[in-house]
Structure 1
Amino acid sequence: MCIRQNKTTAIRLALLLCFILLLASCADRGKLESSWLDYISRLSRVLDRDASSANIDASLHFPRPRDLALTFETSNIDLLDFLRLRRCALRETIAQRNSILGRHGDASAKLIFDLRFLSEAEDCIKILNSDGKESLATQLREAVNLKIRELPSRIFLASIAGAEFREFWQAPPDLRDYPNDGKDPSIAALARWQRWQQQWLSGNWQHNADEVLLTLGEIRLGGGGALLRAQQLNTHELARASEIIKQRLSGRPLCLKPSPTPAAEQFRNVLSSRFIGRIQTQASLINQHQYALLEQIHAIENTLFSSMNIKNIAVPTAYLTWVTQRDELLEKATQAQRQHVKVAAELLAQCGLSPGGSGQH
């Protein structure tokens, strides 16, 4: 009797341990990953087919800074002459730009200096002309024209090629907090940046340095990397799920005639409760996030690319390649979703069923 009780106790402890390990495993995953694990498992069991175990493709990597570098011309302007000008506000800007801090500032700091230079230069040119220093005024005009030509490059390096956007696109270690119902703080910041760059490129160089840096900081906190990782996961798992259904379509029929069997009803229930009820609900949040982010990202890129093209500035090939890969990844997720719905509908039709309807007896 004692041996039997000890054996029963051991079995219960083993089952409890398995349950605890299962809970721990789920806790380590995000909602999206857990939903896919559950759906694939149930689909495989109901259709009596094994899911493939192929690894997810490697994550996209934002181009390295050196692959996004742009060159700038050196102005012939004699800055020492301007440092002696007491009446020009530009004097202080030039002094700061040529300090150690100014020379070694990041791309956003250099953009702010250039915007400040452009916004102050016109008044200084008027002062120089009124003081009879036409030669210096001409030099300053040449420097202004050079900075206007190079402004798209400065904006490119400070924004979509910069450190903040690099972090924006960096994949998180997991998707535990994604997707969520909260608004991405970067969406409003991206829209603000697009308005500003349009303003700057059209010749209005007014800006607030603190707001520029604050906005880039808000973009840094955005979920671009989480979006890419989630859609990569969705594409991979949709392909696995579709393959399970395709195996059944090409093998032993789920139904020999267009009339539902218990297995067919179970299949439809899995689709309804797990795929439609959970995964597509999460996919809807992801797609909304994607639309909101990409609307602003594409606007920023298109505005900059157009301006750079007009100024005969080549967009670095590494960035164009990244854009192509990024957009292809997102498009693959859309196509994988359509394909999965299509093959699921084919198997249901074999049994006279539809995803949300009743069986046709």
Structure 2
Amino acid sequence: MWRLIHYCLLLMLAVSVTGCDPFASPDSMMDEYLSRLARVLNVEKQQTALEPIRLIPSVRDRRAEIPKIDISVLEFLSLYGCELQVVVAERNSILGRVMSPLNRLRYNLRFIATAQECLANTDKPALKHSLQQAIEQKQQLLSSVAWNAVWAGEPMAALLSVSKGYYLADTHHVTTLGRLVAGLEKTRAILTQLQSEAIDADLTEMGDIQQQWTFGHHAGQLLNSVTMLTTRLEDATALIEQRLHVKPLCYKSKSNPHAERVKGVFFNVYIGRIQPYLSEVSRAGKLVFGELDKIALAQASIMPAGFKSYHLDVISMTNKNGVWQQFDKAMTSHTKSWQALLEQCGMQPRASQSLS
């Protein structure tokens, strides 16, 4: 009994300590960094309000339009004994009308395959002509259907949702991140097959992959983190720049107690706490959004107009005004400001103590 009570007290103490640790979460860590930096530099702390994060567009704006292909009733009845009759009937059923985008892609591949079989086994000229037209139209629309299977479904919306907090660089996130990236690579490989009209593309893994998107939320968490970090790094750079515009930190580059305290914040807080998290968010972002960007660019010709600006601002790794290039810019600027400050005292980090 006493052992149980002792365990509960230790657990409560651990929770209490964690709750008071300013470095326990990414946002409080950056707030603490700003506070300590302002204090040690003897400048007023300035903290910019975070801008709302751009949400993924609605289904309507990210969905490619798919024209409907009809087979007349008489032609449909003449398909008796052909599996295509079963396929079309399933599509026109109540459940078939509410197919998920991924199941719609499966249906289209099945339609093409069974229509080709029927075409080879029928001797009716009119039916042959209709089947050939239907196959060609389905093949032409396959890229759009594949786009919707990836971008227009709920799994992608869940993956990019920003309602699940910040990305945590813990063991769980790093492990699940690897599975997410592998799934995105597999998705891109499947889309490459479909672009070459390979109707035998294997979609068996796609259900599991999209289930990972539904429950992963890593992309949205990374967006939360990169947006917050960019703003806070810009705030921190402004504090250092403010200090650089007054008298030098050191006289004739000779260190002093004040400079040593600044150096302590640099090594203990920035290098010890902030930089590892910046590096992990940058690494994870390049892996996840690098793959998402490749997938989107591979389908650029059919990207819906309502999705293009979101792609540029949020997903693109190369757009200079996008969140990822702005993050890189904020890190570079902050590095240069620290270098300029430490140079005043001859305390530039050695090569093994990288600022980047």
Normalising TM by the smaller chain, what interval?
Answer: 0.7 to 0.9
**1:152-185 Cα distance to aligned partner (Å, 9 max, x none):** 1111112123221111111144227456432413
5 Å matches for 1:1-361? 24=19, 26=21, 30-78=24-72, 80-128=74-122, 132-175=123-166, 177-178=168-169, 180-184=173-177, 185-207=179-201, 210-220=204-214, 221-305=216-300, 309=301, 313=302, 315-326=303-314, 327=316, 328-356=322-350
| Range with bigger deviation, 199-208 or 56-65 | 199-208
Contact between 1:189 and 1:219, CA under 8 Å: does it hold in 2? no
- The change in CA–CA distance for 1:321 and 1:201 in structure 2 (over 3 A counts) is same
- RMSD between superposed Cα atoms in Å: 2.3
Deviation at 1:70, TM superposition (A): 3.3
- The change in CA–CA distance for 1:344 and 1:209 in structure 2 (over 3 A counts) is closer
What amino acid does structure 2 have at the position aligned with 1:290? G
Q: Tell me which residue corresponds to 1:12.
A: none
Return the alpha-carbon distance in structure 1 between the equivalents of residues 124 and 24 of structure 2.
Answer: 67
Return the alpha-carbon distance in structure 2 between the equivalents of residues 83 and 207 of structure 1.
Answer: 29
Contact between 2:47 and 2:232, CA under 8 Å: does it hold in 1? no
Structure with higher Rg: it is 1
Deviation at 1:325, TM superposition (A): 1.0
Return the alpha-carbon distance in structure 1 between the equivalents of residues 247 and 89 of structure 2.
Answer: 80
Contact between 1:242 and 1:343, CA under 8 Å: does it hold in 2? yes
Q: Tell me which residue corresponds to 1:10.
A: none
Q: What is the SS of the residue equivalent to 1:181?
A: helix
**1:88-142 Cα distance to aligned partner (Å, 9 max, x none):** 22221111111111122222221111111112221111011xxx21210110111
Q: Which runs of 5 or more structure 2 residues have no equivalent in the other structure?
A: 1-14, 317-321, 352-356
Q: Tell me which residue corresponds to 1:4.
A: none
| Range with bigger deviation, 282-291 or 225-234 | 282-291
Return the alpha-carbon distance in structure 1 between the equivalents of residues 157 and 249 of structure 2.
Answer: 48
What amino acid does structure 1 have at the position aligned with 2:308? L
Contact between 1:186 and 1:222, CA under 8 Å: does it hold in 2? no
State the TM-score, normalized to the length of structure 2: 0.85
Count residues with an aligned counterpart.
327
- The change in CA–CA distance for 1:289 and 1:164 in structure 2 (over 3 A counts) is same
What amino acid does structure 2 have at the position aligned with 1:317? A
What amino acid does structure 2 have at the position aligned with 1:155? A
Contact between 1:51 and 1:243, CA under 8 Å: does it hold in 2? no
Q: What is the SS of the residue equivalent to 1:60?
A: coil
Contact between 2:164 and 2:217, CA under 8 Å: does it hold in 1? no
